[in-house]
């Protein structure tokens, strides 16, 4: 499936299209409603005939609704803030009419026609198509802290190499100027490193040697020093300060690629990333080459940011989630709300966190954890934190006061539990079930659901089987004596 932007589509169709976040009732108007399904673009066609008839077309199927039904669906859906309405004023004009709306940047969204549906625009061979460039190569790094993979493409490596060359020429000019002025004292800071400097008579010679050996494509491996230093110096990506700086560079590169594609070649990723890390370590900036152990990742409501490990003592409502990732109370609150809003869909929760970071103009939004072990550990800490457990207990007490436990319905389904990774299906043989990572006697094959008098959900829990003793254990651990009696 190839996706094209809305601006490309309307130029081929010679249509006039006005994007907006609002929809208005007007007989005869036609709209293309942009939404996201399964984290992909999707478009729905709507034509308003009158109050009693609106025609909705989705995936080639036509539906008929009243305007009140359409308005109710659009105003009460959980992703209503993500909907974009493209009003089609004319179609088949002789010339393409450029949009004059304030929201014309929304035309750069990719239009999707659904999974498995062909999209053929005759005469659109000259239009730009979003396709993967398989000819590009990249260098792969694995962060040992959270297991995430960092891919540095050749385009970014070329920009870093150019910046190192420009910095070296600037140091040579500064050296010549210092010789003319006969300046023998002072300190010079490496602009490509967060907190590394030289002082004394030979500071410029030392800095040039540092740039040649540490900020080159294939750095010289050090045989002395810490294990981390020896491991990092063999990576070869023009970065001398460790994985943290290369991750910040990748974040800046991704942010600039999305938001400033027309920017010039003067990117300065090494110096910009060094400045960000230097500010994170302030006020006490140490003299060190490797800074990974000095920084931690802090997830806040406004997105991820790097902070000094020593500064965490002075921060309120900060909790350690994983080995090198800390979260604030505001981040926990918004993540809990997103979990309820998106039915615990991890992809949508992450997209919401990225959108929120972009609203705060956070250039480091790509630092949000992507590795499964780290991201799920953070969600587990939030959803099983003492405040959430207390909230669930209070909700159960409310259900008890509202007499939900007078009559309950118990159901144990099999289909949902079949998707658990690590255990074989109950249809497999005994040998295959015992050969799985989770043995047959430990596998959880039922999802127990307990509903109250008004169908309020009182309990959802995984069980080994639907035997009476297993259900009794679940009731014993979930409900108090008053609720059970």
Q: 224 or 391: which carries more pLDDT confidence? A: 391
pLDDT score of 261 more than 80? no
Average pLDDT over residues 169-184: 82
270 in a structural domain: yes
Q: Is residue 131's pLDDT more than 60?
A: no
pLDDT at 484 over 60: yes
pLDDT, mean of residues 204-210 = 87
Eight-state DSSP code of residue 62: E
- Alpha-carbon gap, residue 182 to 368, rounded angstroms: 49
Tell me what pLDDT residue 265 has: 56
Lowest mean pLDDT among 205-214, 221-230, 334-343: 221-230
Residue 446 near residue 462 (C-beta atoms within 8 A):
yes
In a domain, 58, yes or no: yes
Asked if 147 and 55 sit in the same domain, the reply is: no
Direct distance between the N- and C-terminal alpha carbons of the chain, in angstroms, rounded to an integer:
58
User: By the 8 A CB rule, do 308 and 281 touch?
Assistant: yes
> Are 378 and 397 in a shared domain?
no
Under the banding of pLDDT at 50, 70 and 90, the label for residue 76 is confident
Q: Where among 243, 262, 290 does a domain terminate?
A: 290
- 112 band by pLDDT with thresholds 50, 70 and 90: low
What's the burial of 369, exposed, middle or buried (CB within 10 Å: 0-12/13-18/19+)?
Answer: buried
The answer to whether residues 272 and 191 belong to one domain is yes
Q: What's the whole-number mean pLDDT along residues 227-247? A: 67
For residue 311, is it within any domain? yes
Q: Are residues 436 and 410 in the same domain?
A: yes
Q: Are residues 306 and 203 in the same domain?
A: no
Report residue 218's pLDDT band, with 50, 70 and 90 as the boundaries.
low
pTM for the model stands at 0.65
**Collapsing DSSP states into helix, strand and coil, what is residue 56?**
strand
Residue with the bigger pLDDT between 36 and 437: it is 437
Decide if 79 is inside a domain. Answer: yes
pLDDT beyond 80 at 397: yes
**Residue 224 forms part of a structural domain:** yes
Domain residue limits at 147: 142-290
Question: Domains in the chain: how many in total?
Answer: 4
CA distance 358 to 364: 9
Same domain for 47 and 70, yes or no, is: yes
Strand partners, 217: none
239 and 315 fall within a common domain: no
Is the per-residue pLDDT at 428 higher than 60? yes
Distance CA 358, CA 353 (A): 9
Residue 129 located in a structural domain: no
Query: 368, 384, 400 — which closes off a domain?
Result: 384
Q: Read off the pLDDT of each residue in 163-188 and give the average, rounded to a whole number.
A: 82
Tokens at residue 136, please? Answer: 């590009």
Q: Is residue 120 part of a domain?
A: no
Residue 466 lies in a domain: yes
Q: Answer with the one of 222, 256, 290 that is the final residue of a domain.
A: 290
Q: Does 141 score more than 50 pLDDT?
A: yes
- Residue 109 is encoded by which pair of tokens? 């969204």
């Amino acid at each position: 499936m190839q996706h094209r932007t809305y601006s490309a589509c309307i130029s081929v169709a010679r249509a006039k299209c006005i994007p907006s976040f609002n929809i208005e009732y007007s007989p005869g108007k036609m709209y293309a409603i942009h939404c996201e399904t399964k984290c992909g673009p999707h478009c729905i066609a709507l034509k308003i005939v009158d109050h009693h008839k609106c025609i909705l077309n989705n995936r080639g199927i036509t539906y008929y609704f009243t305007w009140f039904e359409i308005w109710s669906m659009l105003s009460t859906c959980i992703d209503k803030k993500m909907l974009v309405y493209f009003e089609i004023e004319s179609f088949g004009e002789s010339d393409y009419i450029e949009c004059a709306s304030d929201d014309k940047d929304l035309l750069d969204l990719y239009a999707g026609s659904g999974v498995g549906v062909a999209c053929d625009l005759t005469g659109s061979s000259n239009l730009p198509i979003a396709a993967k460039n398989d000819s590009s190569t990249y260098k792969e790094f694995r962060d040992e802290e959270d297991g995430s993979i960092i891919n540095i493409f050749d385009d970014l490596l070329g920009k870093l190499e150019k910046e190192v060359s420009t910095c070296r020429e600037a140091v040579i000019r500064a050296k010549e100027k210092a010789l003319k002025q006969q300046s023998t004292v002072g300190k010079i800071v490496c602009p490509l490193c967060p907190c590394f400097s030289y002082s004394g008579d030979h500071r410029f010679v030392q800095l040039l040697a540092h740039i040649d050996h540490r900020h080159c494509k294939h750095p010289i491996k050090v045989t002395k020093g810490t294990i981390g230093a020896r491991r990092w110096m063999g990576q070869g990506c023009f970065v001398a300060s460790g994985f943290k700086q290369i991750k910040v560079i990748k974040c800046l590169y991704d942010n600039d690629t999305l938001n400033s594609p027309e920017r010039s070649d003067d990117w300065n990723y090494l110096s910009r990333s060094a400045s960000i890390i230097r500010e994170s370590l302030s006020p006490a900036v140490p003299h060190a080459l490797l800074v990974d152990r000095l920084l931690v990742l802090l997830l806040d409501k406004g997105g991820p940011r790097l902070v000094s490990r020593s500064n965490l003592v002075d921060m309120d409502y900060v909790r350690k989630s994983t080995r090198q990732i800390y979260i604030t109370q505001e981040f926990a609150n918004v993540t809990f709300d997103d979990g309820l809003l998106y039915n615990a869909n991890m992809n949508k929760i992450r997209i919401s966190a990225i959108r929120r970071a972009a609203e705060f103009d956070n250039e480091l939004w790509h630092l949000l954890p992507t590795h499964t072990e780290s991201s799920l550990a953070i969600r587990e800490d939030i959803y099983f934190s003492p405040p959430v457990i207390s909230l669930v207990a209070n909700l159960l007490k409310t259900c008890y006061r509202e007499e939900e436990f007078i009559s309950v319905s118990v159901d144990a389904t099999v289909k949902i539990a079949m998707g658990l990774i690590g255990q074989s299906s109950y249809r497999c043989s005994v040998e295959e079930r015992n050969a799985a990572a989770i043995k047959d006697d430990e596998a959880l094959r039922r999802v127990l659901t307990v509903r109250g008098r008004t169908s309020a959900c009182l309990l959802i829990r995984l069980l080994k089987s639907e035997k009476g003793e297993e259900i009794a254990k679940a009731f014993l651990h979930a409900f108090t004596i008053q609720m059970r009696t």
